[in-house]
Homo-oligomer: A and B are copies of this chain.
Amino acid sequence: MVARGTQPSRPRRLGRPIASDGDERRRRIIESARRQFARSGFAGTTNREIAERAGITTGAIYHYFRSKLEVYLAVFEETDRLILERYAQVTADPTMSFDQMVAAILEVSSQMNREDESLAAFITSASVDAHRTPDLMASYRGHDRQMVSFFERLVDRGIAEGSLDPAMRSDAMAAIRVLTIGLTWYSVRVHDPEAHRKATVATVAALRGELFAPGGQRRRRKAG
């Protein structure tokens, strides 16, 4: 016997809720699931956790998705889309230099992380879960392939404009991947936007030879 109508916390009764929008609910589930998957992984996340965060019962999830796996895939798809859209946006200007683009990407990554920390956390989480749960691998590979091809275009742009040595193409690719992976993980682990930003800046500086170049002599970009 639950009091009804007054307590806003848990008064839901049987049947259709008073104001319910299918799309809205679906989105709520995805968002709730992303948080939980990011934190606890695929196996570690229970339907109850997802449902509770979304304000429904476990059964209702199955009204929108056929299985927990499908929820995960939906989260993946959306997260993937969100990130790549953002990357595409900030590199859309054709007059940008390679350097500017790299900086823009790192900047927007950092910014997205501040806006919604579950994005980066989910991606890193997914990279682990994909290796643990075969059914997730295909989705992950798709995401990975898109990321790689995005960076390929970026590097090729750098080569075209003379910023990169064509002989170093594969080296540049590897380095970029290592550093983006590293930065993403760093951001997830330290869990502190400011630290992430500083690490980003430091990494960019290092890439410019301003950090580890030996001999005590520091390089300056466009040094006068």
Q: Which residues of A contact B (CB under 8 A)?
A: 39-41, 43-44, 97-99, 102, 124-125, 127-128, 131-133, 158, 162-165, 168, 170-172, 174-175, 177-183, 185-186, 189, 195, 198-199, 201-203, 205-216, 218-222
Instruction: Check A40 against B132 for contact (C-beta < 8 Å).
Output: yes
Among B175, B199, B214, which residue has its beta carbon within 8 angstroms of that of A211? B175
Q: How far is the CA of A199 from the CA of B185 in the complex (A)?
A: 18
Contact call B171/A201, Cβ cutoff below 8 A? yes
B179 close to A198 (CB less than 8 A)? no
Across-interface contacts of A182 in B (CB, < 8 A): 177-183, 185
A168 CB contacts on chain B under 8 angstroms: 202, 205, 211
Bound-complex Cα distance A177 to B40 (A): 24
CB pairs A–B below 8 angstroms (14 shown): A39-B131, A127-B185, A163-B216, A171-B201, A172-B211, A174-B199, A174-B202, A181-B186, A182-B183, A207-B212, A208-B209, A209-B213, A214-B222, A218-B218
**Cβ contacts under 8 Å, A43 to chain B:** 41, 43-44
Chain B nearest CB, measured from A178 CB (Å): 4
Pick from B186, B198, B216: contact of A170, CB under 8 Å: B198
Out of B44, B97, B212, name the residue touching A132 (CB < 8 Å).
Answer: B44
